[in-house]
C-alpha cells in the first residue's frame, strides 16, 4: 500500500498514468540493473534511488553515477525515438537504434517506451559509451 501511495504521489499527478502503471514503472526502473552490474561501473553505492520518472545510483565518494529513465507506453511509437530535443545538441547515432545525445547519455526504445540511460564516470570524453551500449542491452532484455 505504501508503495502504491508513493507511486501515486510521484507519478499519477505528474504524468497522468494510473497507479498500477506507476508502481510497475517504479519497480522496473530499480530492478533492471543488478547491484553487481552497477558496482562494476561506478563502484560502491547506496543502492537505487527511485525518483520521479527515473532511478539513479551514485557513488558518494567519486560522484560517478548511473541514471535510468523508463518512459510510459506510447512514448516511442512503433519503437521509434521521438524527434531529438535541439537543446541537447545534434545526437549521434549509435548501434542498435541507440542515440547518443550528450556526453554519457543515450536514448533508446524498448518496445513503445522511450528510455534514457546516463552513465557518468568521465565528463570530458566519450569513454562511457561502450558501457552505455552494454547496459542498454541489459535493460532491453529485462524490460
Q: Tell me, what's the pLDDT at 85?
A: 86
The values of phi and psi at residue 105, to 5°, are -130, 145
Listed in sequence order, the DSSP H helices in the chain are: 2-7, 13-15, 19-31, 35-42, 129-142
Report which secondary-structure segment, H or E, holds 37. Answer: helix 35-42
Query: Mean of the pLDDT values across residues 19-26?
Result: 57
> Is residue 21's pLDDT more than 80?
no
Query: Does 23 have pLDDT greater than 60?
Result: no
**Cβ count within 10 A of residue 47:** 8
pLDDT of residue 53 exceeding 80, the answer is: no
Residues in the chain: 143
Structural domain spans, the chain: 33-142
Going 55 to 88 to 17 to 137, the CA torsion angle's sign is negative
Q: What is the pLDDT of residues 80-139, one digit of tens each?
A: 999 998 887 899 999 999 999 988 999 999 999 999 999 999 888 889 999 999 999 999
Amino acid at each position: 500500500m505504501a508503495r502504491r501511495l508513493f507511486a501515486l504521489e510521484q507519478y499519477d499527478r505528474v504524468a497522468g498514468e494510473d497507479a498500477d502503471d506507476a508502481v510497475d514503472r517504479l519497480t522496473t526502473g530499480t530492478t533492471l540493473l543488478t547491484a553487481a552490474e552497477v558496482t562494476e561501473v561506478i563502484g560502491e553505492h547506496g543502492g537505487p534511488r527511485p525518483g520521479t520518472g527515473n532511478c539513479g545510483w551514485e557513488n558518494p565518494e567519486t560522484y560517478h553515477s548511473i541514471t535510468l529513465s523508463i518512459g510510459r507506453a506510447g512514448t516511442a511509437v512503433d519503437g521509434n525515438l521521438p524527434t531529438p530535443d535541439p537543446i541537447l545538441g545534434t545526437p549521434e547515432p549509435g548501434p542498435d537504434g541507440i542515440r547518443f545525445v550528450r556526453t554519457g547519455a543515450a536514448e533508446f526504445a524498448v518496445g513503445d517506451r522511450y528510455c534514457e540511460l546516463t552513465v557518468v564516470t568521465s565528463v570530458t570524453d566519450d569513454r562511457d559509451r561502450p558501457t552505455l551500449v552494454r547496459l542498454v542491452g541489459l535493460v532491453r532484455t529485462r524490460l
